[in-house]
Chains A and B, each alone.
Chain A
């Protein structure tokens, strides 16, 4: 962890140039009309060239595209952590620990299914806080207990230790996976307080939105599934949309839950269209889609309000993630025969 002074100006300048290299609307329009191999070739002519060439001998088709995208994402986010210092580093790493969660889940699942370490390693996105040496050690271990031991001192260790007993009793990975997610989300707002104005306030607002959207998403999934699950186990504290008692009360009543989200001052208007569709539709997918778009828009707005804060970095992180998801969606969509309109509907482009 970096301990020097914060350097948002430097990082933002670097981020601006990276952002300029991202795909434009016109590029997406071209990509939608291409097949998987044409997309791979197109990517070779963009900033993904290095990853495509490096992985070209091991993978082909859409797998090549997906792994190249993940590696490129990891490279960019790793650079962000390398450039940033002090306070800024802390703010960025809080968000990028989601990739540590991804990697730890992948490793735990790999151990659970007795997978080959090399296979596990392939699926990792090395963009989080955990360094390569730690990740390599984690990939090589044979038991989840060893994973917890190696993670000692990180934000994940305590939650994982608590969940391990439950894992041993049930034999299911759910408690471990939930513990990792919970550790990440609970740490997002830790020590940040509730600043009322300035870039920090906007940063907190964005993180609150992330937590609120996660709570909304999970509450709706629980309400839809009808499973007898304790909503409190899936509730993350820190948002403004629900408190724990709201969630316990609303999970049993789907319509009341949707009304509750619609009535919220901060998100109601932003999500009204998606909520209207949600009342009639069977699927939560469109709503999740709307949440993703809202979060992206949120971050983008923040970057223009405070251009020399963490906001542009956060906006870049989300935009880059979205770019990777969009390209992957186009490539996979073309591979499985989705038509242009279907793919276009699934893309979130600002």
Chain B
């Protein structure tokens, strides 16, 4: 609040520094926000594609496992699944997009060849192969979706934060600083005017005093002159006589 600020030149200079810094920060944050939005739009397109694929893969995998359960029996499908030796693994790394740290998920042992699934080939059927393959594809899609959607959420959060910062600078901090600057400038000008006025008054007073003094001196001189003139006149007739 402007009233809380002491209207001193030092504060004015400090506020001017803060205004300069805030304006520069505001510009930078605006650029960051725009950049993030552009990156976000790219990720959003990718996320929409990944979501579409995920929904498709899920439907496909469900259909294939349903068919496998129907034709081979639930017991056979469960049995084949339990033979799995190497379970899929994921490792996460991170990458930086305009200052936002987003995860990069690496998966291994998700897609397997026929001999890596654990179940014997001779005693199983293509239905189980196809169900396993469809679920491997689904898992790949889920991992990709997790990566893209986490990146998207983090970007969105960062955009929100940046936007709030830009707005705070634009609509709160900078207006307050401008207001304080104006207040201090006005106060300083006012102080300057008061000072000038005061000096002027002092000067006038001083001049008036000096004038009065001079007039008093002059009056005293005149009075002295007047006192001296009758004495001279009285001496003159006597001299004439």
B119 to A173, Cβ gap below 8 A?
Answer: yes
A332 to B74, Cβ gap below 8 A?
Answer: yes
Within 110-141 of B, Cβ neighbours of A (below 8 Å) are at 113-116, 118-123, 125-127, 129-130
How far is the CB of A137 from the nearest CB of chain B, in Å? 20
Chain A 265-303 interface mask (CB, 8 Å, partner B; 1/0): 000000000000000000111011000000000000000
- Give A229's nearest chain B residue, CB to CB: B115
A177 to B85, Cβ gap below 8 A?
Answer: no
Among B63-71, B174-182, B192-200, the stretch that binds chain A is B63-71
A171 to B85, Cβ gap below 8 A?
Answer: yes
| Residues in chain A near residue B69, CB distance under 8 A | 332, 336
B70 to A70, Cβ gap below 8 A?
Answer: no
Q: How large is the interface on B (under 10, 10 to 19, 20 to 34, 35 or more residues)?
A: 20 to 34
Within 95-145 of A, Cβ neighbours of B (below 8 Å) are at 101-102, 105-106, 109-110, 112-113, 115, 123
In the complex, A283 Cα to B133 Cα: how many Å?
12
| Residues in chain A near residue B122, CB distance under 8 A | 177-178, 181-182, 185, 214, 218, 234, 236
| Residues in chain A near residue B113, CB distance under 8 A | 225-229
State the interface size on chain A (CB cutoff 8 A): 55
- With A123-B79, A172-B85 as given contacts, are A66 and B121 in contact (CB-CB < 8 Å)? no
How far is the CB of A121 from the nearest CB of chain B, in Å? 12
Is B224 an interface position by the 8 A CB rule?
no
In the complex, A237 Cα to B181 Cα: how many Å?
97
A338 to B118, Cβ gap below 8 A?
Answer: no
| Residues in chain A near residue B66, CB distance under 8 A | 332-333, 336-338
| Residues in chain A near residue B130, CB distance under 8 A | 283-285
Main DSSP-derived SS at the A contact region: helix
B85 to A221, Cβ gap below 8 A?
Answer: no
Is A148 an interface position by the 8 A CB rule?
no
| Residues in chain B near residue A63, CB distance under 8 A | 74
Within 139-187 of A, Cβ neighbours of B (below 8 Å) are at 170-174, 176-178, 180-182, 185
In the complex, A112 Cα to B119 Cα: how many Å?
12
A328 to B118, Cβ gap below 8 A?
Answer: no
Is A55 an interface position by the 8 A CB rule?
no
B83 to A177, Cβ gap below 8 A?
Answer: yes
Is B8 an interface position by the 8 A CB rule?
no
| Residues in chain A near residue B71, CB distance under 8 A | 325, 329, 332, 346
Determine which residue in A63, A106, A220 has the highest number of CB atoms from chain B within 10 A of its CB, and name it. A106
How far is the CB of B156 from the nearest CB of chain A, in Å? 36
Is A258 an interface position by the 8 A CB rule?
no
Is B88 an interface position by the 8 A CB rule?
no
B83 to A109, Cβ gap below 8 A?
Answer: yes
Is B75 an interface position by the 8 A CB rule?
yes
Is A34 an interface position by the 8 A CB rule?
no
B114 to A227, Cβ gap below 8 A?
Answer: yes
Chain B 89-126 interface mask (CB, 8 Å, partner A; 1/0): 00000000000000000000000011110111111011
B121 to A109, Cβ gap below 8 A?
Answer: no
A106 to B120, Cβ gap below 8 A?
Answer: no
A229 to B83, Cβ gap below 8 A?
Answer: no
Is A94 an interface position by the 8 A CB rule?
no
B75 to A70, Cβ gap below 8 A?
Answer: yes
- With A225-B113, A227-B114, A228-B113 as given contacts, are A288 and B126 in contact (CB-CB < 8 Å)? yes
A229 to B114, Cβ gap below 8 A?
Answer: yes
| Residues in chain B near residue A337, CB distance under 8 A | 66
Q: Could you list 8 A-B pairs, sorted by A, with CB under 8 Å?
A: A101-B123, A170-B85, A171-B85, A178-B121, A217-B126, A221-B129, A284-B126, A336-B62
Known: A218-B122, A285-B67. 17 other contacts (CB 8 A): A62-B74, A70-B73, A102-B123, A105-B120, A110-B82, A115-B82, A172-B85, A173-B83, A173-B120, A178-B122, A181-B122, A182-B122, A221-B114, A227-B115, A234-B121, A336-B66, A336-B70
